[in-house]
Chain A
């Protein structure tokens, strides 16, 4: 974004464009028109501009495209050019906007005074900053320390140089959810410092040992795409089969729910189960000969892990273990994933993958991976140093260690020992609360940065908008400070981050060939530089069999497990209202924390639903309302991470409790004592019933029936239009419609977040969700099969439910004022400014997808700057609903009109379709049989169904049945 657009004029534009956020009414939008002094050639007022950048919400590093209107980023979308996101995002990525515009963001530098923090000028703040650094560096070497979340290569370099300028190399990156055990195992079993790249899509069988790869583990968006491919039925040995997936772990996570089988183990038993599977493989002789490992050692390793004995020890049924073994051994290629913090498990899984010859196929180590992040040991070393008073100045730039650091580290005491703590970041968190100096830094969307999530992927993040607050880029701050600290120009050659990034990409450019300007142009357009990776040839280290240490026995009695929350991650997402309001996919709970308890455990504890449970470990004690559910192993208390903030902004504070404070070590498991306190706090969900009472909202078909080409007897297809009283209308131009594949949908709710962002939906809070006033236009229908049907159904049935734009929409003829009517392109239009609010349409909507504005929508400044100017903000008293993103449809149609061409297939993509990481939804024109949407219907004739088809309202959203594997079959 060029400099032509001054901050001042940006604010003005925001003012005028922000008028779109006014309440529908007859008041004129804005009274004044303020012209640019010099127009910005990149900006056409009233038209969106797109910039490629990179997401920094989690280490996955997805490529993004930011849609910018009048200098404000209003929507984030996946970058199709990016090999990781491939044009999709997750809910967290969508919600990154709410950090940029977060009302709790630090507005300017603050210095701690007698009474709390006092705002200071940048000059004073920087003087204090550099002053302390100067004295510290004079005091000796390594008196300055730097902690941050994972940084990109360039920013890491800058930080290290800056430290160097102050004679220190205490550089530590801290990521609580980093897969440390995996790194240890990779080193031990393959002698690698980097993590492998997984190709789930190329596997025929999958076993995940506690790796929740669809929500938080590794690179969820990429895994969504791969898993969708993995689960599409394929012809194997001349028969249509469904690749089998099994999840082993204490809690039925979202990933587990989308697998064929969830094997409930106590935390820590996963390793035993893995070895038992290995035992099956060895006994069955399914160990590939050419994997070149000595079988005797292997036999010795697995000998005492007979399925029977393991089953008897862990309570896992031997059949499940056999099934896993068979599916894994009999498939040409398979993949096993390990997600717990138990190195033994990771070793076992490494062996599992290796001996079946899958390393190099589905598990690939690549040359030129990113430099490894700091290990727990590094962090511990630093904390020790701090505690010992060897650190005078600590600079924290993210990671929020105070919130999530293992209790045993006593980080809070250690940080107290540090003379001067400076916190650099966007939204002040618990760590900022204990700092002496707070400097507001730019959000990654406001500054230059780069990422290297894995080998061959170099993401380039460019500033997509002028900063909202009086913040500065982290890199610029450090560079300036380094220069102030007397760094030589040859050591620290750059003035600001932009130069640094540019310089860093020079050699990439030279490697790529061609002139740098072309390269630079290209990477800025593509959002990075992507090259094919060369697979490194690795072999299993024979010592691993001896090196193997048996798994630590799981804690006797109750165990608490911290489950990474799909939206809050380690806790960084908690202050984003969208993420609080969107229900967690499996439990469907909002705005709170909870402890998930198995009915049996609950009975023995005397806990009832919503009853507050006090959890006490050697590290600490928290209280949370209980969620009684079958989806957790008895004896296990599962608590989602991320809630329980005390100083992280208005949306996060005082919600739930912080499970990290129960864990003394780096793991996520601890022995716990639990007792009901007798208090009650209602857990709130927008969904009422969890069983669909055979109403066929989310329908399923077994792979056997699919292979046979027959439908389950229960649902013979109703003839398309049985009894028509009137001749159907023709839609000559377009007939917009959607196809939704329930088999690909995981319930991750990225679509919901995207809808919130695109259509200016406002959040209503816990109380209103409870009485049915949630505003989301699209929701995830989540159902569990009744017990008696459990064998003939998937573990969980999910599908997005949105307005079906029925041809014979029941909502239309009941509206007395034509606020709800049909367009000539087959859309069911809801005209907000015509609506008088009788709410009859919603009463008559069988899908209950219409939403009524019970109150006047409000956004805390400056969250309203994110509002989409192309969509009206609805006032109180009007009905609203999914519009298939009409603003995008008209935008595309106008482009086509002006370029005198028809609208291309796929040119229109509603926000939900665009965001869906597993591409479960396809949007297109029903008039065009060649469109991808229609093709998807034609290719899946057997799986096609309409929700509530029998009432014959002619929905335009066609669903495809979820495919399940009949239990007890491999």
Chain B
């Protein structure tokens, strides 16, 4: 704890915390609305392109045999991955009583919700007949015909929807005391809104009692869930027998990758946010440092996975497998692989230096690289393996189209828009947990760690 005591800021009283967080939620200015408007425009563009795609069929994409999955599924996996770090920070670290999570977990979890919401769009977008997407869900119908529960895509459907539900519940539960807090000072429509959202929370002992238990259990449920979800996503590929997909390490490999990209995305969002909103005294370098360490660790795990994957290909001596990997490194799309290696394995090594870990600008740049690298990783695995399949006569490499690019950009805008809106209208930092944390630490200092725990 010594390090923590040194780094963490113990001065703020409950009142200070409330003041600074409530300050964020003052009615925003023009610059904010311009930003939102910009994002909205991009989102709508993406929506228009999608409408056109539904109307004209998938011919507007660049897809073709054999690369029938490319950008859309890559985006799907990418966003699901992003989502994971949120749950990691809010649930898993909660169970470990990690203290540095308190300041950042609300932001991270919000990111989770919106990332899943974004990811959930892509399986529908990529469908040939999106208007029938509900056939993946079991529902009563006159033919008694239900989805095939053996299909990884059905697993996906269940996993993603469960994940979205559970993290929303968890997120919502955590929000209630804070909303009740801001309810007390809010005025006008906000007052009404917060009053309804807070469900009449007053923080009585009885409410806290059940709240705490439920919060604990939700965290307990979310923890295996987060691991399962990305494993299931990875099985979309591992279950296929396509060389480059058919690999047993995919589940842990993808989960690590997910945490990696997710935490990077958290920093990508937090660093500008704390600067714009003046949260330097709540989100301290100490937090950034810890997050950076997580990135470093997962980066090493991911690099290890790359090595194992290639080793297995070599060790199997299966010519088809070998050829797939040869093409992955040196084929027409080889550059993507090397971009990915650079971004995911080499650049993060800089984080071994504590100075970089705590200085915002370099950290920010590194996280951007990580995001790019992880997007390419998914593309290389998905599209690259498809392009070099079993049938040499049926190889073919894919060319992007405006539609795919536009929808991808639109998705990013949609995500950022939701996040920005939330950050201004809801407590983006959990006051309750900050207070709890500080109280806890004060006691810890006074009475020694063991007694307080």
A interface residues (Cβ-Cβ under 8 A, vs B): 687-695, 697, 768, 771-774, 779, 781-783, 801, 810, 813-818, 821, 834-840, 842-844, 846-848, 851-856, 876-879, 948, 951, 953
Contacts and interface: CB of A to CB of B under 8 A. Distances in A.
B394 A848 contact: yes
B37 interface: no
Contacts of A813: 148, 150-151, 239
30 contacts: A687-B394, A688-B396, A689-B393, A691-B392, A695-B320, A695-B392, A772-B65, A779-B393, A781-B391, A782-B393, A814-B151, A816-B135, A818-B145, A834-B135, A835-B129, A836-B128, A839-B126, A840-B236, A842-B68, A843-B66, A843-B240, A844-B242, A848-B66, A848-B389, A852-B65, A854-B57, A876-B57, A876-B59, A877-B57, A877-B128
Given A688-B394, A816-B135, 6 more contacts: A771-B64, A772-B66, A814-B151, A836-B133, A843-B242, A854-B63
B393 A688 contact: yes
The 3 A-B pairs with the shortest beta carbon distances in the complex, nearest first, are: A837-B128, A877-B128, A772-B64
Contacts of A773: 59, 64-65
B207 interface: no
Interface of chain B, main secondary structure: loop
B144 to A, nearest CB: 12
Nearest to A817: B135
A843 B147 contact: no
Contact of B392 (A692, A779, A815, A838): A692
Given A816-B151, A836-B128, A843-B240, A852 B68 contact: yes
Contact of B59 (A691, A693, A854, A951): A854
Contacts of B129: 835-837, 876-878
Contacts of B409: none
B393 A816 contact: no
B154 interface: yes
Nearest to A847: B391
Interface in B110-162: 123, 126-130, 132-133, 135-136, 145, 147-148, 150-154, 157
A772 B128 contact: no
A191 B130 CA distance: 73
A291 B29 CA distance: 108
B contact residues, range: 35 or more
Nearest to B147: A816
Interface of B: 56-59, 62-69, 123, 126-130, 132-133, 135-136, 145, 147-148, 150-154, 157, 236, 239-242, 319-320, 323, 386, 389-396, 399
Given A848-B394, A877-B129, A951-B241, A694 B319 contact: yes
A842 B153 contact: no
Nearest to B57: A876
A810 B148 contact: no
Contacts of A697: 391-393
Contacts of B127: 836-838, 877
Best-surrounded residue of B57, B148, B393 (most CB of chain A within 10 A): B393
Contact of A851 (B65, B126, B239): B65
A839 B63 CA distance: 11
Given A818-B147, A844-B240, A848-B394, A879 B65 contact: no
A783 B393 contact: yes
A840 B386 CA distance: 11
A782 B65 CA distance: 18
Given A843-B386, A848-B66, A816 B58 contact: no
Contacts of B133: 836
Contacts of B319: 693-695
A816 B148 contact: yes
A815 B146 CA distance: 12
Nearest to B68: A839
Contacts of A694: 319
B128 A852 contact: yes
Nearest to A811: B240
Contacts of B152: 814, 840
B136 A836 contact: yes
A853 B128 contact: yes
A848 B65 contact: yes
Contacts of A839: 68-69, 126, 128
Nearest to A698: B393
A451 to B, nearest CB: 39
B241 A815 contact: no
A922 to B, nearest CB: 23
Contacts of A879: 128
A877 B135 contact: no
B390 A847 contact: yes
